[in-house]
Structure 1
Amino acid sequence: MTQRDIFFVGNEVNELGGVGRWQTQMAGLLAGRGHRVTVVGIAPPHHPMDLGDRPPFETVTLYARRPPSRPRRRRLIGSLDPAVRRHEAHMRSAASRLSALFRAARPGAVIIVTQVWAMEWVALADTAGHTVIGMTHESFDTARKSSRFARVKKYYKDVDRLLALTQEDADRWAVEGMNNVGFMPNPLPFTPGTPSPRTEKVVVSIGRLSHEKGVDLLLDAWAEAAPKQPGWTLRIHGTGEAEEQLRQQCADLGLEDSVDFAGQTDDVPGALRASSVFVLSSRGEGFPLVLLEAMATGVPCVAFDCAPGVREIITHEEDGLLARPGNTFELARHLVRLMSDERLRDTMGDRALHSVRRFDPEAVTRRWEELFDFLER
């Protein structure tokens, strides 16, 4: 195995959330196999995640404060606009730090750009002689609804490989003319250990309290499901900008006795083992780590089929249940099925624990190393 210098370049080094957790895990996995790993962030995190006392990789952040957004060019003066010129000069200065890091790397280095905003700086840096891999950590449909869609097509069109999270999403990017596209699944965030006994009458949701995560839809579904299964609790772990609005919605629906806003948890496996059903109500996703975590604790999942990554993880009616995106009545019906049937919970939970092992971290890490070797040839 060739030991390489590997750079992860993301928006932040340690932002709390799915991409940040994935980046930290993959950096650790590759460092554990003897590679020299550096994680580079463009800006400091909004919500920092603890990397521990001695992470097995170096970290660098280019800006002391988050840089302002790129100013729009005024039509008459375009690139001569002083604001535009100042912004581009600041970007080139920061990119020169990236160039210095890349030039100091050993031959065969790999630059993995985890988010397209970060790619705007990598595109200005000197990457000569190194492999550059760009990533999109969301579904094709989610990207298409945002400004990131055009930026992925612009900034990733000439990298050595653009990686989506599933074959289905990769095929759709290829139709858009991205002929360098492939796919790579996320690894299991932790090794399956002691499973949930699935005896607590708790349905758990874990994620940021934001519009994208659809907790408002979950509350609507819970208003349908809870009266049919008295004694069950919906426990919502997470914080975010929508919390006050969601608490008001909960009160308006008369659900305060059966909904527990439990705040952010630092013990995701423990929170999952204290539940019997996991629910994902997102409007959009990429390849949700929390589904992998739930299945790795033997907890059957109910989710909106909102992205190829979701149905890549869950096989409907085998190891979990999928509802049509946004269909709260269908989500409620699936929840009631699992809440009311202990045998079904145990069967699907056991199958989930078995099927999720296909995303074993060692196997995914080997796939990355095979990709590095292939792209170097």
Structure 2
Amino acid sequence: MTDQTTVSGARDIFIVSNSVDEMGGVTTWTHQMAREFTGRGHTVHVIGVTPAPADRRHEFPDPLPYATTTLYEEHPPQLKALRGLKGKLNAVERRRYAARSAAMQERADRMTALFRAARPGAVVIVTQVWAMEWVGLADTSGLLVIGMSHESYDASAGSSRLPRVKRHYKDVDRLLVLTPEDANKWIRAGMDNVGHMPNALPFVPERPVARSGKVVASVGRLSHEKGVDMLLDSWAEISSRHPDWKLRIYGAGDEEQALLARTTELGLDGSVEWMGRTNDVLGALSEASVFAQASRAEGFPITLLEAMAAGVPCAAFDCAPGVREIIRDGEDGLLARLGNVMELGGHISALISDKELRDRMGEAAFKNVKRYAPEEITDRWEALFAFLER
């Protein structure tokens, strides 16, 4: 939290997400910015649509210095689209749709009541397009509404989210994406209210870690999107050349068992350490000398920011504009072409083999990543609020 406080310009700020407490980058961003805004004297209220699944729930300190609300006690039912005449004549499904719509409006009305109690100049920040479906049903008249997409344009275009973003965010005061490159793509796709805002550093250590351990670290969900299977394929080429080094993987997810089996299949059980989830990323990085990320898709990955803030040089796939915004290839990290496991493995191996290289890149990372310091990013947010009020 920043020490700076600007109470004279204090606002009510609502941050609305799919969930208040589901593990992941959006939740990390939400609570970090809630703390930063609170530290500036703003009154923050974090709103989630549904509770997180029990196995993906992030534990937060109690009490938090801001209010939180979850609109549903359990996840609302997911219904199939009513297609064609047969769908429209299906009375059972129509009743289910009507019940779900009524429940959505009831939850939106709860948000309306919170919004109506806000002071003039209040802001609603919607971090995910699914949550915007509820905000769109609420009365936000007189409030600034800022929508966000925390993924790359290409990731949205490869899913159902692109048409949903265009539909649900078309009338917000600003749609914020993560990089100028992605903003230009959304503008070309027909959105005329687009800006860009990077994520902030979750922490700013006073000094880099020692980079003395023979550990390559990776932090993230064990899911297809995060590409841990490709990281294992890269490590299979590395481990025989560097048998005294370990690949230490932090995270959990639905691909865990498949990845454990793949580790055994590749003969890597002795060189890969599965650490499970961690709420202490800086502590995890303190024993690492290299950070590796093999994601198939990213937005503006907080794990890369964390590694660089700790002074750990990164090797990653160039899978999104946000990655190449964060890493200056050849200066403070190394980028490989997406999916090229041999190239990624070569980059990791180069950092393992050359202490001078990893120290130089680690020191450059520690310095360069400070352009995303929390106070800098919070200043940009407050400047945006003031601009949109004009």
Q: Same fold judged by TM-score > 0.5?
A: yes
Report the secondary structure of 1:262's partner residue.
strand
Residue in 1 aligned with 2:33? 26
After the TM superposition, which residues 151-170 of structure 1 pair with which residues of structure 2 at under 5 Å, given as runs?
Answer: 151-170=164-183
Report the secondary structure of 1:39's partner residue.
strand
Residue in 1 aligned with 2:348? 335
Tell me how far apart the structure 2 counterparts of residues 313 and 186 of structure 1 sit (CA, whole Å): 10
Residue in 1 aligned with 2:4? none
**Alignment partner of 1:216 is 2:196:** no
Report the secondary structure of 1:228's partner residue.
coil
State the 1:54 CA deviation: 2.1
Preserved CA contact (<8 Å) 1:43 1:65: yes
Residue in 1 aligned with 2:211? 198
**Alignment partner of 1:185 is 2:203:** no
After the TM superposition, which residues 305-320 of structure 1 pair with which residues of structure 2 at under 5 Å, given as runs?
Answer: 305-320=318-333
Report the secondary structure of 2:9's partner residue.
coil
Q: Deviations along 1:10-49, whole A, 9 cap, x unmatched? A: 0011211110010000011001100011000000112222
Tell me how far apart the structure 2 counterparts of residues 305 and 5 of structure 1 sit (CA, whole Å): 38
% identical aligned pairs? 56
Residue in 2 aligned with 1:301? 314
Residue in 1 aligned with 2:184? 171
Q: Give the TM-score normalised by the residue count of structure 1.
A: 0.98
Structure 1 residue identity aligned to 2:389:
E
Residue in 2 aligned with 1:3? 10
Q: Deviations along 1:135-194, whole A, 9 cap, x unmatched? A: 000011111111111110100011000000000001000001110000000000001233
Tell me how far apart the structure 2 counterparts of residues 345 and 96 of structure 1 sit (CA, whole Å): 54
Q: Give the alignment partner of residue 289 of structure 1, picking from 280, 302, 305.
A: 302
Tell me how far apart the structure 1 counterparts of residues 376 and 88 of structure 2 sit (CA, whole Å): 49
State the 1:230 CA deviation: 2.2
Tell me how far apart the structure 2 counterparts of residues 291 and 123 of structure 1 sit (CA, whole Å): 33
Q: Give the TM-score normalised by the residue count of structure 2.
A: 0.95
Structure 1 residue identity aligned to 2:16:
V
**Alignment partner of 1:321 is 2:328:** no
Q: Give the alignment partner of residue 119 of structure 2, picking from 85, 88, 106.
A: 106
Structure 1 gap segments, 5+ residues each: none
Tell me how far apart the structure 1 counterparts of residues 360 and 84 of structure 2 sit (CA, whole Å): 62
Structure 1 residue identity aligned to 2:24:
G
After the TM superposition, which residues 84-95 of structure 1 pair with which residues of structure 2 at under 5 Å, given as runs?
Answer: 84-95=97-108
Count of residue pairs the alignment pairs up: 377
State the 1:199 CA deviation: 1.2
Tell me how far apart the structure 2 counterparts of residues 78 and 376 of structure 1 sit (CA, whole Å): 44
After the TM superposition, which residues 225-264 of structure 1 pair with which residues of structure 2 at under 5 Å, given as runs?
Answer: 225-264=238-277
Structure 2 residue identity aligned to 1:172:
K
Structure 2 gap segments, 5+ residues each: 1-7
Residue in 2 aligned with 1:43? 50
Structure 2 residue identity aligned to 1:364:
I
Preserved CA contact (<8 Å) 1:193 1:296: no
Structure 2 residue identity aligned to 1:117:
W
Tell me how far apart the structure 2 counterparts of residues 192 and 288 of structure 1 sit (CA, whole Å): 18
Tell me how far apart the structure 2 counterparts of residues 70 and 149 of structure 1 sit (CA, whole Å): 20
Report the secondary structure of 1:60's partner residue.
strand
After the TM superposition, which residues 55-94 of structure 1 pair with which residues of structure 2 at under 5 Å, given as runs?
Answer: 55-76=64-85, 78=88, 81-94=94-107
State the 1:235 CA deviation: 0.6
Q: Give the alignment partner of residue 362 of structure 1, picking from 365, 369, 375.
A: 375
State the 1:210 CA deviation: 0.6
Residue in 2 aligned with 1:279? 292
Q: Deviations along 1:67-125, whole A, 9 cap, x unmatched? A: 11244124226498222222111111111101111111111110000000000000100
Report the secondary structure of 1:317's partner residue.
coil
